[in-house]
């Protein structure tokens, strides 16, 4: 029997465009003999529209003849007939960033009692908020760079004291980040006080919660994790940005950042990276998948930077490439995630 696969993409997030690339790639790769695919597009304004079933590759995922009868402004009604057919149904949220990767959509799917791919509410919310994530990682004993968290309100009230705390605790350069985002959107590197203030103003455009981290000179090491109760790691890869840091442009515009898979690392380091990725996975109670990002410092320390609960997912993104090198091809990776979604759902019933 075919599985009914609902692909949810777009989304009210600064990572909307990235999600569209993912959706296009997944639609092309999914085995149409095994899955009936229904596209669900969330516009940048947050409207949900459902398209017709798809049986071939598509050029523009925004223009899938979403008709008026199919269109709806209610996220809740869009899955209403999902359990009408007796075929298995799975929702795959191909969403990055707030309002999708952060537990909101996952919470809705829990309430609707539909199986869905990837992380649940807690892991998604904790993984999206870099402040909460880092606090949980600290508690799990993972090494991290020093950081200071603040909010828009605190910054407004106590700017001078916060700057002093940041300078004393972190120094320069430091990285200023919106707590809840991804794809490097809103992140800047600050080299002095003036830069720090400008970076704070930039990050505050995207979130009211901000994290400022000590800048490290380090290699960037990433590993994919797949599974529910028994997560497994992919091979380990390395990102080598050609510019100052791995910003949005380097990720999606320039395309000249090198991905080295597998990374040239000693067996010991590889083992340690994988062990730490699993500790991080468990610290957040992850399910399905994550990509865990580390820094390998010049003195050989493995420092966790973050996990991404819905990492970039085109066939040319790091996560699928890491699994490809581990022997799991892109369509099989999708299938594996769908089966993890179904088994997680069944276990909860």
**Nearest Cα to 53, choosing from 75, 70, 36?**
36
Determine the interface stretch with ligand ATP among 182-190, 272-280, 281-289, 337-345 (rule: CB under 6 A): 182-190
What is the Cα–Cα distance from 299 to 282, expressed in whole angstroms? 27
Q: Does 293 engage in binding with ligand ATP (CB under 6 A)?
A: yes
- Least CB distance from residue 147 to ligand ATP, whole Å? 8
Whichever of 6 and 175 has its CB closer to ligand ATP, that residue is: 175
Work out how close the CB of 18 gets to Mg ion at its nearest, in angstroms, rounded to a whole number.
Answer: 9
Q: How far is residue 80's CA from residue 231's CA, in Å, rounded to a whole number?
A: 32
Q: What is the full DSSP assignment across 77-95? A: GGGTTTTTSSS-EEEEE--
In the shown chain, the binding pattern of residues 171 to 200 toward Mg ion, with x for contact by CB under 5 A and - for none, equals -----------x------------------
Environment class of 67 (CB within 10 Å of its CB; exposed 0-12, middle 13-18, buried 19+) = exposed
Which string of b and e fits 182-212 if b means at least 16 CB within 10 Å? bbbbbbbebeeeebbeebbebbbebbebbbb
C-alpha to C-alpha distance for 236 and 63, rounded to whole angstroms: 37
CA distances 241 to 258, 262, 313, Å, are 6, 16, 19
| Shortest distance in whole angstroms from residue 101 CB to Mg ion | 7
Total number of residues binding ligand ATP (CB under 6 A)? Answer: 20
C-alpha atoms less than 13 angstroms from C-alpha of 315 in its C-beta half-sphere? 12
* 175 forms part of the interface with ligand ATP (CB under 6 A): yes
| Region binding ligand ATP by CB under 6 A among candidate stretches 50-58, 106-114, 154-162, 177-185 | 177-185
Binding site partner of 215, from Mg ion, ligand ATP, none, Cβ cut-off 5-8 A by kind? ligand ATP
Contacts of 152 (CB under 8 A, 6+ apart): 204, 208, 209, 210
Give rounded-to-5 percent helix, strand, coil for the chain.
Answer: 35, 25, 40
Selected binder of ligand ATP within 102, 213, 238, 272 (CB under 6 A): 213
Q: Minimum distance from CB of 104 to ligand ATP (Å)?
A: 17
Q: Hey, which residues between 295 and 334 contact Mg ion (CB under 5 A)?
A: 306, 308
* C-alpha dist (Å) from residue 250 to 123, 128, 170, 184: 27, 21, 26, 9
> Of the two residues 3 and 305, which places its CB atom closer to ligand ATP in the complex?
305
Least separation in angstroms between CB 79 and ligand ATP: 27
Specify the residue, 51 or 173, whose C-beta has the smaller distance to ligand ATP.
173
Find the binding residues for ligand ATP in span 88-147 (CB under 6 A): 145
Q: Does 308 bind ligand ATP (CB under 6 A)?
A: yes
- From Mg ion, ligand ATP, none, interface partner of 220 (C-beta below 5 to 8 A by class): ligand ATP
In the 8-state DSSP scheme, what is residue 15?
Answer: T
Chain contacts with Mg ion (rule: CB under 5 A): 182, 293, 306, 308
Residues that bind ligand ATP (CB under 6 A): 145, 175, 177, 181-184, 187, 213-216, 220, 241, 245-246, 293, 305-306, 308
């Amino acid at each position: 029997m075919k599985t009914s696969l609902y692909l949810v993409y777009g989304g009210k997030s600064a990572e909307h465009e990235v999600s569209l690339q993912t959706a296009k790639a997944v639609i092309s790769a999914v085995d149409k003999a095994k899955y009936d695919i229904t596209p669900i597009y969330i516009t940048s304004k947050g409207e949900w529209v459902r398209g017709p079933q798809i049986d071939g590759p598509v050029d523009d995922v925004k223009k899938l003849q979403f008709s008026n009868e199919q269109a709806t402004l209610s996220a809740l009604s869009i899955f209403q007939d999902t359990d009408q057919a007796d075929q298995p149904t799975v929702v795959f949220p191909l969403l990055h960033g707030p309002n999708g990767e952060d537990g909101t959509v996952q919470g809705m799917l829990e309430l609707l009692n539909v199986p869905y791919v990837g992380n649940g509410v807690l892991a998604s919310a904790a993984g999206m908020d870099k402040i909460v994530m880092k606090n949980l990682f600290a508690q799990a004993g993972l090494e991290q760079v020093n950081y200071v968290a603040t909010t828009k309100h605190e910054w407004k009230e106590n700017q001078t004291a916060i700057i002093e705390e940041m300078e004393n605790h972190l120094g320069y350069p430091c990285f200023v980040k919106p707590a809840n985002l991804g794809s490097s959107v809103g992140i800047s590197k600050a080299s002095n006080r003036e830069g720090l203030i400008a970076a704070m103003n930039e990050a505050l455009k995207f979130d009211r919660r901000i994290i400022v981290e000590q800048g490290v000179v380090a290699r960037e090491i990433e590993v994919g994790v797949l599974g529910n109760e028994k997560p497994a790691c992919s091979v380990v890869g390395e990102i080598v940005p050609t510019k100052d840091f791995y910003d949005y442009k380097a990720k999606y515009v320039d395309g000249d950042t090198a991905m080295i898979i597998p990374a040239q690392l000693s067996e010991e380091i590889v083992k340690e990276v994988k062990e730490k990725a699993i500790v991080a996975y468990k610290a957040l109670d992850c399910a399905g998948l994550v990509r865990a990002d580390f820094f390998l410092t010049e003195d050989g320390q493995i420092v966790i930077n973050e996990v991404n609960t819905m990492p970039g997912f085109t066939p040319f993104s790091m996560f699928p490439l890491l699994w490809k090198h581990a022997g799991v091809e892109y369509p099989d990776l999708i299938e594996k995630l769908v089966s993890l979604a179904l088994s997680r759902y069944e276990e909860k019933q």
